[in-house]
Structure 1
Amino acid sequence: MKPYPLAKAVLAACISLSACAAQAADVTFTFTNTGPAGGVGVAPLWLGLHDGGFDSFNVGAAASVAIERAAEDGNANVLTSNFASQVAGGLQTRLPNGPRFPGDSSSFTLHNVDLSGANRYLSYAAMVVLSNDFFIGNDDAKAIDLSSLAGGGKLSLALGGAGHVYDAGTEQNNFAYSLANGAYGIGGGQSGPNQGIDEHGVVHVVTGNPYADFVDGGNYVPANFDWTALNFNSQQSFGRLDISVTAVPEPETYAMLFAGLGLLGVVARRRKNVDA
């Protein structure tokens, strides 16, 4: 007993729709500070999804005001505003809660994400604390391509660590004005936004022991202070970003699928009546 040609066509269409018509997606980002106890913290991570046209910074060039504020104060408001005005169809968020210290994590889910088009590429940025203007981010707008996850899946990215932390070049590295000193038993420190001594430098990769050359160390750092956990240049990474994607068929796809299934039911009933 062969199925009607119409039934075969409807069945094939339903299978096709359910298998490949999921353009939108729910994307959950979870950042975890994987550094050792006593290691650096990371300010609330800013994340932007775009079509490849948003470049937040370039190594060897002066930092934008957006990166300056993010790197010096952990304040991503200017970065958020720039992204919103420059990126058509882009999506962005800052992960909730304050700085994430070793062992801490935070998550957020973005909905209706188009990973095959307008939201294909991921950019991120966040201040590293303890510091004056250290930050993590990606200087290549197209370095992180999430299009392979458009149909669902998971990806983990290692953040920070040797060769992947930047100095914005905007403020002198000086314990008198660095952020989060108190969390490490160090004196001095920033007491308000946009403090510190202007450096007028360029964005560059942090090398060597990042705190060895800070100004005024002798005035604020206790004798025999152990820098081991804070020397992120000896670590492969100190953060992990887990990305989990669930494909969500669009409403019209559901409507077409249900209509097709309903038509299959009608065809089946007619066939039963004919065979009776």
Structure 2
Amino acid sequence: MKSWLVRQTFCGIATAAIFVAVSSPSFAGLFKVTITNNAPTGGAALAPVWVGFHDGTFDTYDGGSPASSSLESLAEDGNVSGISADFAAQQSNGVQGTLATLPPPPIQPGQSVTQSFLLSAGGNNSFFSYASMVLPSNDFFVANRNPQAHDISALFGTSGSITFDIGLPGTVNDAGTEVEDYNTSAANGLFGLPGGQGGPNIGANQSDVITNVIGPNPLGALNFPGNLDLSAFDFNNAALYPNGIATVTISAVPEPTSLGLFGFGLVSAGVYFRRRSQAS
């Protein structure tokens, strides 16, 4: 009877440790966000990507409506300060940050950036949003229109992470805040293209609304001079961009206490069964 009780106790500890380490559905803890540019060589890049964890009410944009001044700055200049300030004002318990390469030129094809975020218990930060300017362009951007599109509760499935693609064909947006012209296309020099703006908010306002960029050759409207090959920038080509412009992966980083309990359970169970084997 005693042997049976001891065996059940150790097995219970090991099982509980595994359950706590893998299955605990708490939104408090450390979460790692990784963004990888999927574009072909010489293709589209992303300006620094703003991300935020929130309560499901933070709205980055509404299709068919005029862009806010904050979104205009992001879409035209890659400037995230406006959307960051909006988020801080609306989400008192929200957690946000900006993912960028070092030094901070755009996230180019094949590059990945990673940042960790600490979410506190009771912060109500179970939803994830993102926004970034697409380059080269003068006012194209990617962002999630639905503030509840990405619920990190899915992290507590079998994989411990969630992955989704952004900038899929037909989902890149035109902010409608600037007349299409290569001379106001930011960061042209990074792509070997002429022109480019010398300061923020350069170019005439288009006085339009946010729409999806549809059809082939999405940069054709920018009227790049000469015979420049823009084919690698055709992010609406599913053959070139089958996984969109980039992939986002959000992973839960196991807590040290959970890992310790998990290890203790395994070691304890191992010691018991080793002693039992020796006694036999």
- Is the CA contact (8 Å cut-off) linking 1:156 and 1:242 kept in structure 2? yes
Letter in 2 for 1:19: F
Match of 1:230 in 2: 233
What is the DSSP-based 3-state SS (H/G/I as helix, E as strand, rest coil) of the residue aligned with 1:78? Answer: helix
- Is the CA contact (8 Å cut-off) linking 2:184 and 2:196 kept in structure 1? yes
How big is the alpha-carbon RMSD for the aligned residues of Structure 1 and Structure 2?
Answer: 3.2
**Are 1:121 and 2:124 counterparts?**
no
Match of 2:274 in 1: none
What is the CA-CA distance between 1:56 and the residue it aligns to? Answer: 1.0
Letter in 1 for 2:46: V
> Which residue, 125, 138, 147 being the options, matches 2:144?
138
TM-score (norm 1): 0.80
**Are 1:77 and 2:71 counterparts?**
no
What is the DSSP-based 3-state SS (H/G/I as helix, E as strand, rest coil) of the residue aligned with 1:233? Answer: coil
TM-score (norm 2): 0.79
What is the CA-CA distance between 1:12 and the residue it aligns to? Answer: 6.7
Q: Give the number of the structure whose alpha-carbon radius of gyration is greater.
A: 1
Supply the distance in 1 between the matched residues of 2:12 and 2:161 (Cα, whole angstroms).
29
Pick closer, same or farther for the CA change 1:82–1:26 going to 2, 3 Å: same
**Are 1:109 and 2:113 counterparts?**
no
- Is the CA contact (8 Å cut-off) linking 2:94 and 2:123 kept in structure 1? no
Letter in 2 for 1:187: P
Letter in 2 for 1:156: T
Deviations 1:61-120 (A, max 9, x none): 111111111111100001111101101321111013221111111110112356x97111
> Which residue, 210, 230, 233 being the options, matches 2:218?
210
**Are 1:178 and 2:185 counterparts?**
yes
**Are 1:41 and 2:69 counterparts?**
no
Matched positions, count:
253
Deviations 1:170-217 (A, max 9, x none): 111111111111222322111111111101111110012212222xx2
Write the mapping of 1:1-276 to structure 2, written as runs, cut at 5 A. 1-2=1-2, 19-20=19-20, 23=26, 24-97=28-101, 98=104, 99-112=106-119, 118-150=124-156, 153-208=160-215, 209-214=217-222, 217=223, 221=225, 223-234=226-237, 235-236=241-242, 237-248=244-255
- Is the CA contact (8 Å cut-off) linking 1:25 and 1:150 kept in structure 2? no
- Is the CA contact (8 Å cut-off) linking 1:22 and 1:247 kept in structure 2? no
Supply the distance in 1 between the matched residues of 2:119 and 2:147 (Cα, whole angstroms).
21
Letter in 2 for 1:83: F
* Stretches of structure 1 lacking an aligned partner (at least 5 in a row): 262-276
| Stretches (4+) displaced over 3 A | 11-22
What is the DSSP-based 3-state SS (H/G/I as helix, E as strand, rest coil) of the residue aligned with 2:85? Answer: helix
Identity of aligned residues (%): 37
